């Protein structure tokens, strides 16, 4: 639902951009730009160390998205310091930061270890809060209680990799959990009053375009604060690359034009109260195999999607129904 005034249309999320944008969400909270700084705190993952599985999810290669300053040999403080320097050089704008525990499963350790790492990040000047990326099966009541307490004194969000709403897909990509397990964790986390995020990949093998699209209603029904979407990219050396080579007809990889049309439809149906952090993924070209989209940066892609929304005079949630 939107409200017209003479100059511009203000949407239900409080600004004129045609989607509920992550950057605007933080501006509305803090009145300024807030930059995420990634951290690799040296965690592993139960889907790699044998607890849940070995080999990990078939698409996974953390090196493909870990910024160069993130190395687990460095302390959390050093990574934040180098990350801030890196972002200052690139954007020279932000003065407030969120420490993003990104690599692997960042709640997969005893609570005392987590507490020490998170508190170290929060002590860094300018760090306003934490974003913690993890798996839906790596959290429990004890950790959630601590995170609830933390979220009383800083910004805090837990982001779960869910990837698909279909168990057949989760099995094929070796996630090691079901959609129902992921849903239960998201609901529980939100019930603790913690900002809850999720990550999904569009284009996974064995899913038709219609199945990919139909996920939007399931995602819209989750108590999510934020969401990230990625198109499937085939990363060299992963199990997904082998699957792609062995069963190419099971893959409906998007061309850029196809993704643009698909994503606009998807966005029109997405719950307008969910803040959208990403439309696409951007692994560095040296990691990629299979068809790509040329040299389009994430910011260019956002501009193109916003331009298309404008041309079609549509917006996130225009066709959303409860």
CB of 159 to ligand SF4, least distance (A): 11
Does the protein bind ligand SF4 through residue 47 (CB under 6 A)?
yes
* Residue 197 binding ligand SF4, by CB under 6 A: no
Under rule CB under 6 A, residue 204 binds ligand SF4 = no
- Which of 84, 85, 107 shows the shortest CA–CA distance to 97? 84
Stretch 156-175: interaction string toward ligand SF4, x if CB under 6 A: -----x--------------
Residue nearer to ligand SF4 on the CB measure, 57 or 305: 57
Residues sharing a CB contact under 8 Å with residue 87, sequence separation 6 or more, in sequence order:
35, 37, 94
Q: Is residue 230 a contact point for ligand SF4 (CB under 6 A)?
A: no
Site for ligand SF4 (CB under 6 A): which residue of 22, 34, 56, 224?
Answer: 56
Instruction: Pick the stretch among 31-39, 52-60, 266-274, 281-289 that binds ligand SF4 (CB under 6 A).
Output: 52-60
CA–CA distance, 44 with 5 (Å, rounded to integer): 51
Instruction: Report yes or no: 59 and 232 within 8 Å, Cβ to Cβ.
Output: yes
Distance CA(206)–CA(72), nearest Å, equals 35
Q: Could you say whether residue 104 binds ligand SF4 (CB under 6 A)?
A: yes
Contacting residue, 17, 18, 87, 135, with ligand SF4 by CB under 6 A: 135
Q: How far is the CB of 307 from ligand SF4 (least distance, A)?
A: 32
Residue of 194, 261, 192, 196 whose CA lies nearest to 227: 196
Q: How far apart are the first and last CA of the chain?
A: 13
Nearer to ligand SF4, 241 or 268 (CB): 241
Tokens of 34: 């807030």
Q: Which residues contact 238 (CB under 8 A, 6 or more apart)?
A: 58, 59, 60, 61
- The rounded distance, in Å, linking the Cα atoms of 245 and 156 is 40
Using CB under 6 A, which of the segments 40-48, 76-84, 150-158, 204-212 binds ligand SF4? Answer: 40-48
Residue closest to ligand SF4, measured at CB: 56
- The contact set with ligand SF4 (CB under 6 A) reads 45, 47-48, 56-57, 60, 104-105, 135, 161
């Amino acid at each position: 639902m939107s409200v017209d005034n003479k100059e511009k249309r203000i949407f239900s999320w409080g600004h004129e951009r045609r989607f509920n944008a992550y950057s605007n969400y933080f501006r509305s909270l803090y009145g300024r730009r807030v930059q995420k700084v990634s951290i690799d705190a040296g965690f592993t993952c139960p889907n790699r160390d044998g607890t849940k599985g070995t080999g990990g999810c078939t698409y996974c290669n953390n090196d493909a998205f870990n910024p160069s300053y993130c190395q687990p040999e460095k302390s959390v403080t050093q990574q934040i310091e180098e990350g801030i320097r890196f972002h200052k050089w690139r954007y020279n704008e932000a003065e407030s930061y969120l420490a993003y525990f990104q690599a692997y499963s960042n709640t997969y350790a005893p609570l005392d270890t987590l507490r020490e790492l998170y508190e170290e990040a929060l002590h860094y000047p300018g760090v306003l809060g934490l974003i913690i990326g993890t798996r839906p099966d790596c959290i429990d009541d004890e950790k959630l209680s601590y995170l609830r307490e933390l979220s009383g004194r800083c910004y805090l969000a837990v982001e779960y990799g869910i990837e698909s709403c279909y168990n057949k897909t989760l099995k094929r990509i070796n996630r090691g959990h079901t959609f129902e397990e992921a849903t239960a964790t998201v609901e529980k986390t939100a019930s603790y009053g913690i900002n809850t995020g999720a990550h999904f990949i569009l284009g996974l093998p064995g899913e038709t375009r219609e199945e990919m699209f139909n996920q939007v209603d399931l995602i819209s029904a989750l108590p999510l604060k934020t969401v990230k979407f990625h198109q499937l990219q085939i990363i060299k050396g992963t199990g997904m690359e082998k699957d792609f080579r062995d069963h190419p007809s099971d893959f409906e990889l998007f061309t850029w034009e196809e993704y643009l049309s698909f994503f606009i439809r998807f966005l029109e149906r997405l719950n307008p109260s969910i803040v959208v952090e990403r439309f696409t993924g951007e692994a560095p070209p040296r990691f990629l195999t299979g068809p790509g989209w040329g040299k389009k940066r994430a910011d260019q892609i956002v501009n193109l999607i916003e331009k298309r929304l404008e041309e079609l005079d549509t917006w996130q949630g225009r066709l959303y129904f409860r």
